[in-house]
Amino acid sequence: MTTVQIREVGPRDGFQNEPETIPTADKIRLINGLGRAGFSRIEVASFVRPDVIPQLADGVEVLHGIDVPDSVSLMVLVPNSRGLDNALVQREYFHEVALFVSASETHNKKNVNRTVEESMADNDVLVKRVVAEDLTCAAVIATSFGCPYEGKVEMSRVLDLAERFAEHGATELGFGDTTGMCNPKYANEFFAAAIERLPGVEVTAHFHNTRGQGLANAYAALEAGCRSFESSFGELGGCPVPKGSTGNIATEDLVSMFHEMDVQTGVDLDVVIGSAREAQQVLGRKLTSHSIVSGPINWTPGVDVVGH
Amino acid sequence: MTTVQIREVGPRDGFQNEPETIPTADKIRLINGLGRAGFSRIEVASFVRPDVIPQLADGVEVLHGIDVPDSVSLMVLVPNSRGLDNALVQREYFHEVALFVSASETHNKKNVNRTVEESMADNDVLVKRVVAEDLTCAAVIATSFGCPYEGKVEMSRVLDLAERFAEHGATELGFGDTTGMCNPKYANEFFAAAIERLPGVEVTAHFHNTRGQGLANAYAALEAGCRSFESSFGELGGCPVPKGSTGNIATEDLVSMFHEMDVQTGVDLDVVIGSAREAQQVLGRKLTSHSIVSGPINWTPGVDVVGH
């Protein structure tokens, strides 16, 4: 029996991209619903400057307000030492810290206005601080499969950065397909190489659905041995590049695919679809996931599937 | 170098599901555009009763009116002997005939009001007539990966039907995921088995994107050795079950995935995306393919991908 971990990133990576401010109470209600869906991991907040990402300015209120099962490991994103200082004030409200860097110089510069080496020098220190706090440190490498500014990104460059994070104490390495440039053949090769290169480290796939290949990439990574994935309920968020594109893969579509293949996720698909539909109401627009329309697959003979 | 064949089915399978009548001149213009895109195969018409599918009642005018390169093999769908009689009057205007049956009794009954055996008894005769006319006979088995009424469909049942078609002279066997119930693990197993069971027969995959798994299924079938695919430009058509779901996989998304993996299709992706955008204008609504928004992947450093 194959089992995978899915981290629900909608409350951070998803909400972050919403142009209209989502009321804190709605965020809390949606996260509580996701907590009941059976996720073992949810990314819930970001300690970035509120003037940079106003949508996530209520991160502390969200952390204080949510009520999820103890089994849920909550993650916060931290961009720098100031962010970690602020996060650690709330030390008892979360379990995992995500640090990040872009594999491509141009994207890193545009994203955090530093060179990759400057970001990594900081990250070397941050990882150790996170580990010293007895928190799980998950490092994320953006543009792992291609950069919209630089084109191809060498696998060796990405894996060198990953190894450096691991050497300093990161126990999870996430590889982000920031603008959806991965394809399943490359996903398969990449994750086989990453798993071999990073023994003892959890290797996580974060795909986007920019050209509709998100689930194909997830399947290819699974075939390569990847057992940890990130996705966003309702297909919220991600990086809509080119403009108007979809970003993150939808959690409900990923879970549906896994369950249909008898891959266990621990997640209740009906509950996730319910959360996605609730998000649709909160945001007042139609979301783009497929299962939100189709519902889960129904193998029961004679049942009118149109009724879903 | 891996090469695949893609049959563009939008002009038949796609248009058929449009509620508003598409003017014949628009159909002809769109098909001519697809002909210029480099497809070696296009499904262009159906010889069904015009009162059953009024949208395709102008099939003969379309066949007479289109102007595509000689290299394009044109397919027509034929449901029964009456349909074949009518098709053969236009013998010089097409090259391939598609016959079909559903693997599940209930779907076949609801679709053509006959038992599977009644349909197959007819098909035994029809295949021979098609072959005797020196036309290529491609048989299509609907609900090959699951039936909305009966649930699971046994692989052996599907492959038995396929073998029977092949024994009577069909040189291509298409397996249709009529309501999008396939998953990549099963697609991989199924196409490996089908290719082994049907030596000398071209095995074609026809997937839907109902739960977002269409391209994952295509990748899994490719990995199993499948080299022939069907898809629909603009993600037009297919069977929207459950109601509101998407149907056929989008040609432009499939082509984009293949090209990104260095799998050759012979198709010009930019031209297909142009055709899909033209269809969007003709139909007056936003189509659901991904590449129609994102454009093809752009590996050129420094190019502003948002401009696509």
On average, the pLDDT of chain B sits at: 95
pLDDT at B94 > cutoff 70: yes
Determine whether domain A5-307 maps to CATH 3.40.50.1100: no
**Is B43 in contact with B13 (CB distance < 8 Å)?**
yes
pLDDT at A307 > cutoff 50: no
- Options A137, A147, A182, A239, the catalytic residue: A239
pLDDT at B306: 40
Task: Please identify every residue of B annotated as catalytic.
Answer: 239
Nearest beta carbon to residue B151 from set A242, A262, A299: A299
**The pair of three-digit structure tokens given for residue B306, joined into one six-digit string:** 């948002």
Match 């959806």 to its residue by tokens: A180
* pLDDT tens digits, A198-219: 999 999 999 999 999 999 999 9
pLDDT at A302: 61
* pLDDT tens digits, B52-76: 999 999 999 999 999 999 999 999 9
pLDDT at B79 > cutoff 70: yes
Cβ–Cβ gap A245/B180 under 8 Å: no
Mean pLDDT of A137-155: 96
pLDDT at A160: 98
Mean pLDDT of A61-84: 98
Cβ–Cβ gap A146/B299 under 8 Å: yes
* Shortest CA gap B9–chain A (Å): 19
Cα–Cα distance measured from residue A124 to residue A121, given in angstroms and rounded to the nearest whole number: 5
Chain B environment of A187 (Cβ under 8 Å)? none
pLDDT at A303: 53
* pLDDT tens digits, B249-300: 999 999 999 999 999 999 999 999 999 999 999 999 999 999 999 999 988 7
Mean pLDDT of B113-130: 98
Nearest beta carbon to residue B150 from set A150, A301, A307: A301
Confidence of residue B308 (pLDDT cuts 50, 70, 90): very low
Mean pLDDT of B147-172: 97
* Backbone φ and ψ of A136, nearest 5°: -75, 130
Residue A124 CB coordination number (10 Å): 14
Nearest CA in chain A to B307: A242
Nearest CA in chain B to A243: B306
pLDDT at A191: 99
* pLDDT tens digits, A89-111: 999 999 999 999 999 999 999 99
- Where do the H-state alpha helices sit in B66-170? 81-89, 105-112, 116-132, 155-168
Peptide bond into A184 cis (omega under 30): no
Cα–Cα distance measured from residue A45 to residue A60, given in angstroms and rounded to the nearest whole number: 8
Nearest beta carbon to residue B261 from set A185, A261, A297: A185
Cβ–Cβ gap A212/B307 under 8 Å: no
Cα A281–chain centre separation = 22
**Is B24 in contact with B58 (CB distance < 8 Å)?**
yes
* pLDDT tens digits, A223-273: 999 999 999 999 999 777 788 888 999 999 999 999 999 999 999 999 999
**Is B306 in contact with A241 (CB distance < 8 Å)?**
yes
User: From residue A292, how far is each of A280, B205, B247 by CA, in Å?
Assistant: 9, 26, 15
* Shortest CA gap B80–chain A (Å): 27
pLDDT at B244: 84
Mean pLDDT of B188-196: 98
Establish whether A239 is a catalytic residue. yes
Nearest CA in chain B to A208: B290
pLDDT at A308 > cutoff 60: no
Cβ–Cβ gap B260/A301 under 8 Å: no
Angle at B66 between CA B65 and CA B72, to 5 degrees: 150
Cβ–Cβ gap A183/B261 under 8 Å: yes
**Is B230 in contact with B174 (CB distance < 8 Å)?**
yes
pLDDT at B305: 46
pLDDT at B207: 98
Nearest CA in chain B to A245: B294
pLDDT at B302: 60
Cβ–Cβ gap B243/A298 under 8 Å: no
Mean pLDDT of A4-33: 97
pLDDT at B303 > cutoff 90: no
pLDDT at B18 > cutoff 60: yes
**Is A27 in contact with A15 (CB distance < 8 Å)?**
yes
Cα–Cα distance measured from residue B212 to residue B206, given in angstroms and rounded to the nearest whole number: 14
pLDDT at B118 > cutoff 70: yes
Nearest beta carbon to residue A290 from set B179, B246, B262: B246
**The pair of three-digit structure tokens given for residue B201, joined into one six-digit string:** 């027969």
Cβ–Cβ gap A257/B212 under 8 Å: yes
pLDDT at A243: 84
Mean pLDDT of A166-176: 98
**Is A223 in contact with B188 (CB distance < 8 Å)?**
no
Mutate to test the interface with A, among B104, B107, B149, B215 (most CBs of A within 10 A): B215
* Amino acid at the residue A23: P
B46-51 long-range Cβ contacts below 8 angstroms, 24+ apart: B46/B12, B46/B16, B46/B76, B46/B77, B46/B78, B46/B79, B47/B76, B47/B77, B47/B78, B47/B79, B47/B83, B47/B84, B47/B86, B47/B87, B48/B77, B48/B79, B48/B83
* Shortest CA gap B143–chain A (Å): 13
Nearest beta carbon to residue B211 from set A211, A262, A294: A294
* pLDDT tens digits, B220-248: 999 999 999 999 999 999 777 788 888 99
pLDDT at A7 > cutoff 50: yes
pLDDT at B241: 79
pLDDT at B230: 98
